[in-house]
């Protein structure tokens, strides 16, 4: 399988990066071919610009960085997204990646009837989201369900991708043993 890992964290020794390393190791042990996109080390520009709009709606070529990332997504059978939850949302860097790369005309299109059609069918995605607060807090507040609804349905299903999300709660204040348990659960 062709496996693309996309992650967003500014600290190269973060727990987020430890998740990425574990996902990569497990995938390679399964015989997957793996590529990794590190949005911070790539210095990805998350700002949707007019050149992006020209590409999506005016028939212009995609900006070079977007075209390169789209080529990687096209290559992949499976996508893994790894990121921390900040202010109940994905980091702006990753949101900008989705805005620019999962563009109209590439990841989805609207039919003549106005209904969207996902163009990335046949792919799967796994999301690993770490949180600072406890899992109980996010479950009771409905935040986990909100993330699943927005991400799995609103983004990935919209583009034709079958997604599944795993949460790792209390990462910032939890124990090393707990974090190791999270990493060991990745199979």
CATH number, domain with residue 155: 3.40.50.360
Query: pLDDT tens, 24-59?
Result: 999 999 999 999 999 999 999 999 999 999 998 998
Domain total in the chain:
1
Expressed as residue numbers, the domain containing 163 is 2-184
Q: What is the 3-state secondary structure (H, E, C) of 104-155?
A: ECCCEEECCCCCEEECCCCCEEEEEEECCCCHHHHHHHCHHHHHHHHHHHHH
Query: pLDDT tens, 116-138?
Result: 999 999 999 999 999 999 889 99
pTM for this predicted structure: 0.95
Q: How far apart are CA 61 and CA 55, in angstroms?
A: 5
Query: Can you tell me the mean pLDDT for 153-159?
Result: 96
Query: Can you tell me the mean pLDDT for 157-184?
Result: 95
Average pLDDT, the chain: 95
Query: pLDDT tens, 50-99?
Result: 999 999 899 899 999 999 999 999 999 999 999 999 999 999 999 999 99
Q: Tokens representing 118?
A: 């996902």
């Amino acid at each position: 399988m062709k496996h693309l890992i996309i992650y967003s964290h500014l600290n190269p020794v973060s727990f987020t990066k430890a998740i990425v390393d574990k996902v990569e190791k497990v995938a390679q042990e399964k015989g997957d071919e793996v590529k990794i996109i590190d949005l911070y080390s790539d210095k990805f520009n998350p700002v949707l610009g007019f050149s992006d709009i020209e590409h999506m709606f005016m028939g212009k070529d995609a900006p070079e960085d977007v075209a390169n990332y789209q080529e990687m997504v096209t290559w992949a059978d499976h996508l893994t997204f790894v990121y921390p939850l900040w202010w109940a949302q994905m980091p702006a860097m990753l949101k900008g990646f989705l805005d620019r790369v999962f563009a109209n005309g590439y990841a989805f299109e609207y039919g003549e009837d106005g209904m969207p059609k996902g163009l990335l069918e046949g792919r799967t995605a796994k999301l690993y989201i770490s949180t600072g607060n406890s899992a109980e807090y996010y479950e009771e507040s409905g935040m986990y369900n909100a993330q699943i609804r927005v991400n799995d349905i609103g983004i990935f299903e919209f583009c034709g991708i079958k997604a599944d999300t795993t949460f790792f709660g209390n990462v910032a204040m939890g124990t090393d043993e707990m974090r190791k348990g999270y990493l060991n659960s990745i199979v």
